[in-house]
Amino acid sequence: MPTMSESMALVGLDVHQAQTVAAVLDPRSGERRLERLRGAPSAVVVGFLERLERPVRAVYEAEPMGFGIDPSRTGKRSRPVAAVRRIPPR
């Protein structure tokens, strides 16, 4: 029987205003895939996470304002999403 971490999809998101790149890893099979999500992150990211076939653990990197992403809107059993905010250079 798979453990919780083996049954979750692991997702990394590189968020930009016009496009987001999502890297998805299936820990059971080792399968990896990249997807380009076109459109406003607040509209496309949560929908993408909802379409995955299993619970999700995700992290994302975005500009300081985060582009309005609210991962808590997903109806999936998911671990909290960690946000890494890019700090502009001085």
At residue 29, what are phi and psi to the nearest 5 degrees? -95, -20
Break the chain down into helix, strand, coil percent, rounded to 5. Answer: 25, 35, 40
Pick the CATH number of 4-85 from 3.40.50.2300, 3.40.50.300, 3.30.420.110, 3.40.50.2000: 3.30.420.110
pTM exceeds 0.85, yes or no: no
Q: What is the per-residue pLDDT for 80?
A: 47
Higher pLDDT, 45 or 80: 45
Q: What is the pLDDT of residues 14-63, one digit of tens each?
A: 888 889 999 999 888 899 999 999 998 888 988 898 888 788 888 887 66
Residue with tokens 């960690």: 82
